[in-house]
Structure 1
Amino acid sequence: MSLLKNIKYILLAGVVASCTYEFPAPDIEQPTSGSADFTRIISVGNSLTAGFMDGALYNRGQENSFAVILADQARAVGGGDFNVPDINSENGFFQMGPQGPLGRLVLTVNPNTGATGPAPIGAGELPGNYSGNTADLNNFGVPGITLLTALIPQTGGPAIPENPAYNRLYERFASNPGTSTVIGDAAAALANGGTFFTFWLGNNDVLGYATGGASNPAILTSDTDFQQRLGAALGALLQANGNAKGAVANIPSLAVLPYFTLVPWNALPLSQAQADQANQGYAAYNAGLAQVRGLGLISAEEEEYRRVQFQAGQNGFVMDDESLTNLSALGLPTIRQSKPADRATLPLSSALGQVVADNPALIRGISFPVEDQFVLTPEEQEEISSKITAFNGFINAAVQANNDRLVLVDVNNLLTRVLSGEVSSGGVGLTASIVPPTGGFSLDGVHPNARAHAFVANLFIDRINEKWGANIPRANPNAYVGNDLPR
């Protein structure tokens, strides 16, 4: 049974060929730096600071990160050059394909199904070394790094299996690969004429755990480690230049990300014949649940929760759930069908309904349960939400402890308001989706696109202006491109 052609995880209700945007009125007040100095801005962070978009680091993304937009706006108040470790790639690198590297994601229309969704643009390039002078860099954003890997030299190499911290996107511009660190390089830049810095780290200390369906607890940073590493990273920057001020961003809620919303809980379409066949396969399982409920081993509510029943139309998929009562000794697996409260991850879009291990009897989501790494259960969502709340508390406390030199940029609040439809510019909204023209996330479902980065840059500008009496002009988000229309 093959269901690939029936699974449509994104529906674009309409395609807009052109858009007219209303530009905001220009600032009337004279631009001023206030009590801060923006002569040389240093930006430290992960993929968000680097401008990673559409599943790749490529030229357009790099050129439109919030850090670059902020630096461009700061030129009006004395800001200088802002040098980025150029990737020099139009398409970047998304993944390896049968014929070599594949580039960034673009929206495409499947000629067989008519469904519109992300797919690689075609050929891409493996990231090469930065050819400029690393001592002149301003942007130290490295996709994929955590607080730990920002602090340790192994991030720059060597590239061996025994070094899981290795990150090619840092090695390519590290001052001394295998010896230097991201934080050390940024601190050196601050000491060498830096006057202001932005800091946005910590997202990956929880994001990797979440995007993997909360299936690998070993990669979730503990509260103690997060607090200690945050203090070490911020402390190194503050100590590098006693006069430099900084803006520190917090961690957005993962509930905002399309990565966790594009695949609906009932993404499995079945005909009546397919549903009848699948139900026959689960008749013994459902009967077994009734028996153990009769023995008092599970409640009637859990029996109903675990029961598998398909019908014609859209269905919840069969999935593993380790939070269920363990009945393996009685021959019953810990499985159930997905419910509205579950959140599937984006990779399930290409895995659901597929044959597993070349065995046509094993269909993922029907006769083979969807694995833990593809789904966040309500309990796992709550765990992640609590972790983000704790991490943001540590970030806020660190900023308050250095209140004379640091300001908090509440990106979490901004993106929550985006989800609620409360953010716009010139009458044009920003939405928590990948759908052009208003969608604010790039096609990987995790990273903002260029237009959303402009909103983030404006939030940095607002907080900096409020804190230090500056008047950095705000950017016009509608001058920045969102996602391209489908090809």
Structure 2
Amino acid sequence: MKNLKHYIFLLSIGALSACNYEFPETAVQEPSAGSADFTKMVSIGNSLTAGYMDGALYNRGQENSFAVMLAEQLREVGGGEFNVPSINSENGFYAVGPGGVPLGRLVLTVNPQTGATGPAPIGAGDFPSPYQGDKTALNNFGVPGITLGTALIPQTGGPDSPQNPAYNPMYARFASAPGESTVVGDAAAAMQNGGTFFTFWLGNNDVLGYATGGASNPSILTSNEDFQARLTAALGAMLQSNPEAKGAVANIPSLNVLPYFQLVPWNALPVTAEQAAQANQGYIPYNAGLEQVQGLGLISAEERELRTIAFVAGQNGFVMEDETLTDLSALGLPSIRQSNANDRATLPLAQSLGQPVNGAIRGINHPVEDQFVLLPSEQEEIVTKINTFNGFINAAVEANADRLVLADIKDLLDRAAAGQVSAGGVGLNASIIPPNGGFSVDGVHPNARAHAFVANTFIDAINAKWGANIRRVNPNNFVGNDLPR
């Protein structure tokens, strides 16, 4: 089987020598806070607020989160220190490697044998370690993997046991009282301790985890009722912590902008003529069975055509599970078909497609499992869920319009995907390809340069809402993704 990454990641690096760009300066005005007070900013959120990039929380990412950039710009208008729970790791933790060794963040690598370019761990990393600083002085309460629900319960901080699925080591490492405190409670306490302004960006993981898992685990998709109730509780806690404080609330980006669902094409399976002939021979009984059940009126001609499996030499759709098909298991016919342009494969399939599975080949005679693909109906479900959740976020901001403003990150990334975002003539796009790609190598989280655009979205909203004049960040001062190694 050919190396699938060759078909999945196509990088053009001819224009990468130009790395210094100009940032257009507007007319010089004296920085001012307007009617807001930025003496102490507190940020609460998930991996996006934490600065998680390239599949890991590591020093460079943590130091280049939008929250850190925003706090730096606020210094000119009275903002103070902004302390983060430093991870103290150059490469962070991506996964456990052979022998239990921690592997660090993802980087773009070139296979010397095939020339294929794709993400791979940089090498050794570090397991998350407890934060050694003053927890009472923290400003950034961004926790990778956190949902609105787990931000509100003490189990998130421990104990670490099979009986506690809510445990999150990224919160436990800096929780004020592991197993007793909550992320929202700690952030609210920081606000009570002199906080005057906050950023709030929670809710992404209430739908993202379901999506990245191929919509295979409905139990982790937050219901509309729970989302609204938890949003009210979490945002309410921040507002009540200081009745005079103001805040900026961000919304949830679209599914369509994430490279995680774009990097593996529907026809990513390369098949030789010999493999195609052998596979087609094996599917003769299955295809014949489909014709028989169509003749009995159990499926339509359209469904029979959709389910018919046929390989050719070259690039092919892969055989996959599809639970939305008519259940013919009683007749010995599984609910499988080949992928098509309407399906969205997830990034992990790049490592699994075409690989041996119990003597079969995944994607040929072993169907690709549900967790690797989003069906059209699942994509529609997720889009509807994101729109509903964003509706709740918009309503919450409008209900507290005197104290809150919306930072429309969804709009920012939608425009980036449409080629409508740039700084100094240098664009930002929804890819992982340097230098213009705005997503880190994991295909989900923005890189440092994109975080600068996110920070500017917050700044623009704050300036417009409270008559402030906070200077914008120059995105071209921040690196995107590193060149392939």
Q: Which whole-Å deviations, capped at 9, do the CAs of 1:180-199 have from their partners, x for residues lacking one?
A: 00000000000000000000
What's the CA shift for 1:24? 1.7
After TM superposition, list the pairs within 5 Å mapping 1:278-297 onto structure 2: 278-297=279-298
- The 5 A counterparts of 1:417-428 are 417-428=415-426
- Between the aligned partners of 2:400 and 2:4, the Cα distance in structure 1 is 55
Alignment of 1:27-46 (within 5 A): 27-46=27-46
Corresponding residue number in structure 2 for 1:8: 7
> How far does the alpha carbon of each residue in 1:433-480 deviate from its partner, in whole angstroms, 9 at most, with x for none?
000000000000000000000000000000000000000000000001
Residue 25 (structure 1) shift: 1.4
How many Å separate the matches in 1 of 2:166 and 2:375? 29
Q: Which residue identity is paired with 2:149? A: L
Alignment map for 1:80-479 (pairs within 5 Å): 80-99=80-99, 100-356=101-357, 359-360=358-359, 362-479=360-477
Rounded Cα–Cα distance in structure 2 between residues aligned with 1:270 and 1:331: 27
SS in 2 for 1:107: strand
Q: Is the 8 A contact 1:209 1:219 kept in 2?
A: yes
Alignment of 1:71-82 (within 5 A): 71-82=71-82
Amino acid at match of 1:62: Q
Secondary structure of 2:8's aligned partner: coil
Within 1, Cα distance between the matches of 2:27 and 2:137?
31
Q: What does the per-residue CA deviation read over 1:256-292, in whole Å, with 9 as the maximum and x for residues that have no partner?
A: 0000000000000112121111111111111111111
| Deviation for aligned residue 1:20 | 3.0
**Contact 2:429/2:437 (8 A) holds in 1:** yes
Instruction: Provide the C-alpha distance between the structure 1 equivalents of 2:330 and 2:217, rounded to a whole number of angstroms.
Output: 25
Distance 1:271 1:168 in 2: 46
One-letter code aligned to 1:9: I
Q: How far has the Cα of 1:254 moved from its partner?
A: 1.3
Q: Distance in 1 between matches of 2:271 and 2:356?
A: 15
Question: Greater CA deviation, 93-102 or 315-324?
Answer: 93-102
**Letter matched to residue 450 of structure 1:** A
Contiguous gaps of at least 5 residues in structure 1: none
SS in 2 for 1:461: helix
Q: Secondary structure at the match of 1:52?
A: coil
Q: Is the 8 A contact 1:251 1:412 kept in 2?
A: yes
For residues 3 and 372 of structure 2, what CA distance do their matches in structure 1 show? 17
Aligned-partner residue type, residue 39 of structure 1: T
Q: 1:436 is paired with a residue of what secondary structure?
A: coil
**Shift of residue 4 of structure 1?**
4.2
Mapped to 2, the partners of 1:27 and 1:458 lie a distance apart of 17
Contact 1:439/1:483 (CA < 8 Å) preserved in 2? yes
Residues in 2 aligned to 1:150 and 1:441: alpha-carbon distance in whole angstroms: 25
Question: TM-score scaled by structure 2?
Answer: 0.98
Are 2:4 and 2:353, in contact at CA under 8 Å, matched by a contact in 1?
Answer: no
RMSD: 1.0
What CA distance in whole angstroms lies between the structure 2 residues aligned with 1:472 and 1:133?
29
Amino acid at match of 1:480: F
Residues 6 and 113, structure 1, Cα contact 8 Å, conserved in 2? no
Aligned residues: 483
**The 10-residue stretch of structure 1 (240-249 or 274-283) with the greater mean CA deviation from structure 2:** 274-283
Listed one character per residue, the Cα deviations across residues 303-334 of structure 1 (whole Å, up to 9, x for unaligned) are 11111111111100000000000111111110
Return the alpha-carbon distance in structure 1 between the equivalents of residues 2 and 328 of structure 2. Answer: 30
- Give per-residue Cα distances to partners, 1:414-445, cap 9 Å, x unaligned: 11111100000000000100000000000000
The letter for the 2-side match of 1:386 is T
Cα distance, 1:389 vs. partner? 0.5
Q: What secondary structure, in the 3-state scheme, does the structure 1 residue paired with 2:151 have?
A: coil
TM-superposed deviation, 1:217: 0.3
C-alpha displacement of 1:13: 2.7
Provide the rounded CA distance (Å) in 1 between the counterparts of 2:165 and 2:449.
34
Measured after TM superposition, the shift of residue 18 of structure 1 is: 4.0
2:321·2:369 contact (CA, 8 Å) conserved in 1? yes
Tell me, yes or no, if the aligned pair for 1:7 and 1:267 is still in contact at 8 Å.
no
Mind listing any 5+ residue stretches in structure 2 that lack a counterpart? none
Alignment map for 1:39-58 (pairs within 5 Å) = 39-58=39-58
Name the CA distance, whole Å, in 1 between partners of 2:76 and 2:276: 64
Q: Partner of 1:150: helix, strand, or coil?
A: helix
Q: Please say which of residues 16-25 and 173-182 is displaced more in the overlay.
A: 16-25
